[in-house]
Amino acid sequence: MQEPIRANDPVRRSWINVPADSDFSIQNLPFGIFSDAGVQKHACVAIGTEIADLHALSSLGYLKDSGFEPQQFAGPFLNPMMKAGKQAIRNLRNKLSDIFDEKNTTLAGNEAHRRQVIRAQSAVSMELPVEIGDYTDFYSSVEHATNVGMMFRDPANALLPNWKHLPVGYHGRSSSIIPSGVAVRRPLGQTRPDDSQPPVFGPTKQLDFELEVAFITFDGKPLGERISTSEAEDHIFGLVLFNDWSARDIQKWEYVPLGPFLAKNFASSISPWIVTLDALETFRVSGPAQDPPVLPYLHSDGNRNIDLQLEVGIVPEGQSETVVCRSNFKYMYWNMAQQLAHHTVNGCNIRCGDILASGTISGKEPGSYGSMLELTWRGSKPIALADGSERKFINDGDTVTMRGHCEKNGVRVGFGEVRSRVLAAKEV
């Protein structure tokens, strides 16, 4: 039986002030990369409204028994730190939890050291946290897949024959994954608005968000070996919020027979904080019943889904926000262990920093649908925003913000947000 993770202790409190509604409790301690005027890029963790510079903390000797060296925290990405693997990261997070515990005065009582280690989140810039090697996008929400099938195919046979037998996925483009705060430019491509006429070229008229959660991997196994569902979580570092932008009209024309291409590779936005899988241990729940039974290599025991509350808001330029979607990661039909097991069952190798996304997360109720495609039902039911305007899809100047958090027994573990503003397309 696994020993309790010390950092998850629900009674712990920190000497750093943590507001009651903060996503970044001492039970969270998510990892990221920050920069400011005095530091190029360093690894850090979030706590309350502050960040702690791990390179400074290590250089000052506070992590001398952790197995990590300062240089593993001094760089543009978390990959050197992540190379240490699951148990080392668990030990590091436990150590950090001890350092920030209200009963520990070692750092708290040293003002000079505190000034070197602690900074306000508002005073730093958060960067892309990992060097992403490969990116895979799954299609693992049965409600989303059913809605799309009803819209574009036979409503009586919305799911394709393979959907409940394997986690459907495709290989995406890692070079265009961007951190929160970086604007997204409306993409250009071919569409065919009139089936009786030739295609036309121009900006997408159906720009959409996709509410997703992605997991980031440690190193996997060598090429030719597979990762089982029982081993999968040993290879998962943590989770981020993921907005997998989509151009629906471009996708409709291009996706047969090989799937989305220009409709998806122009941008995907991720939140800057990676919440470790360990920090989410308390919030595990069972997933939906899988019927028909899965093949043996996809069988997974225990509670593998996460009760992670999600929401999406739209802010027109100069206006206030309207929340258009509230959903939950627990709805996923295929869990992360099954996704990773399926991805590697043919011997495909996974590397440190790979990102695997859930696919759009939708629930059963219309307000829980994770895309404008579903929320407006292909534009037939426009959404009214707080400023009196309507949306079928996303307009230029709109800012889309996704948020997520878990909460149970007075402990909140959150992801912050991923926020992106849409810019007009380049002139043709």
Known catalytic residues?
144
What does each C-alpha distance from 354 to 133, 174, 214 come to in angstroms? 5, 9, 10
> Which of 47, 14, 20, 10 has its CA nearest to residue 32?
47
Contact indicator for 132, 355 with CB cutoff of 8 Å? yes
Please give the Cα distance from 330 to 362 (Å, whole number).
10
- H/E run at residue 236: strand 236-243
Phi-psi map region of 61: left, alpha, beta (phi>0 left; psi -120 to 50 alpha): left
The DSSP line for 46-58 is EETTEEEEHHHHH
Please give the Cα distance from 174 to 167 (Å, whole number).
20
Instruction: Count other C-beta atoms under 10 Å from residue 402's C-beta.
Output: 29
Please give the Cα distance from 213 to 48 (Å, whole number).
22
Q: Count of residues for the chain?
A: 428
| Structure token pair of residue 297 | 């290599």
| Structure token pair of residue 417 | 């947000």
Residues near 362 by Cβ (< 8 Å), separated by ≥ 6? 141, 143, 144, 147, 211, 327, 331, 368, 369, 370, 371, 374
Instruction: Count other C-beta atoms under 10 Å from residue 365's C-beta.
Output: 10
Could you tell me the end-to-end alpha-carbon distance of the chain, in angstroms, rounded to an integer? 61
Beta strands 184-185 and 411-423 are parallel
Instruction: Count other C-beta atoms under 10 Å from residue 367's C-beta.
Output: 11
